[in-house]
């Protein structure tokens, strides 16, 4: 365990999708073998559909994450000292139910993260209704959602037509300011070293969920991707400029 002001504290690892965090999350859990847990994604989806089987799109994803939030609160109440998973964070969570844990996350250049997430969807979750090309996908609501993943994970919502995201952006910055450590996937060794210092114990080096590298987007599409990812680019720059960034 970590010691903070003379008392024991734990680790809460927020694993943002397609940021290369599977290995680090698994390593942290191995470093805390007597009291660790992850978020059960299948159980969360089952719970969301059990409440309303007609849910689709953003409504289903939001309900899914609300089920994950409930799981996280149960694990915190149960006293699990290391919790890692695809789950959202907020300043209210970190200042309240999770105040006995130090929050950690790993981020990635938002354009690279977006392209990787798109490739993952095409590879693992084919959908006949999804445009077959990246260029066409960029004009969909799903692209707007993927381009504001950091906003959703730390501010609670996505961008969208007619949405005022200023309050969510402010909330996301407030949340990120509460983190004990924010890593950058471009500097994995520095992040691993900082994790060891934060945990004050060995953290094994693992390789999990190694996806094939995504091809960079065509230069002609990059301006549009940057426009879609504008909220996440702003949050990434803010987070990696914080004192506790790895």
Beta strand pairing call for 101-107 and 181-184: parallel
Give 144-159 pLDDT, tens digit per residue.
999 999 999 999 999 9
- Domains of the chain in start order, with CATH, are 2-240 (3.40.50)
Whole-prediction pTM value?
Answer: 0.93
pLDDT tens-digit series, residues 184-220: 999 988 998 898 888 887 776 656 566 677 788 999 9
Pair 195, 21: CB distance under 8 Å? no
Beta-carbon contacts of 2 under 8 Å, excluding residues fewer than 6 positions away, are 8, 9, 10, 11, 102, 198, 199, 200
């Amino acid at each position: 365990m970590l010691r903070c002001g003379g008392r024991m504290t734990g680790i809460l690892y927020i694993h943002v999708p397609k940021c290369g965090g599977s290995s680090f999350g698994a390593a942290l859990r191995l470093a805390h073998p007597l009291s660790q847990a992850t978020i059960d994604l299948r159980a969360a989806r089952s719970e969301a559909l059990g409440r309303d089987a007609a849910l689709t799109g953003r409504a289903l994803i939001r309900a899914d994450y609300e089920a994950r939030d409930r799981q996280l609160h149960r694990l915190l109440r149960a006293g699990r000292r290391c919790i890692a998973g695809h789950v959202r964070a907020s300043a209210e969570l970190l200042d309240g139910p999770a105040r006995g844990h130090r929050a950690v996350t790993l981020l990635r250049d938002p354009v690279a993260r977006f392209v990787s997430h798109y490739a993952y969807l095409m590879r693992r979750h084919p959908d006949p209704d999804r445009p077959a090309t990246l260029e066409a996908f960029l004009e969909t609501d799903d692209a707007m959602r993927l381009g504001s993943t950091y906003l959703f994970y730390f501010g609670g919502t996505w961008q969208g037509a007619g949405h005022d995201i200023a309050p969510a952006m402010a909330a996301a910055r407030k949340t990120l300011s509460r983190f004990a450590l924010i890593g950058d996937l471009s500097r994995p060794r520095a992040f691993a070293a900082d994790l060891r210092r934060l945990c004050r114990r060995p953290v094994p080096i693992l390789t999990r969920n190694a996806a094939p590298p995504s091809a960079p987007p065509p230069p002609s599409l990059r301006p549009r991707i940057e426009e879609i990812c504008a909220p996440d680019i702003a949050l990434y720059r803010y987070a990696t400029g914080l004192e506790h960034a790895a």
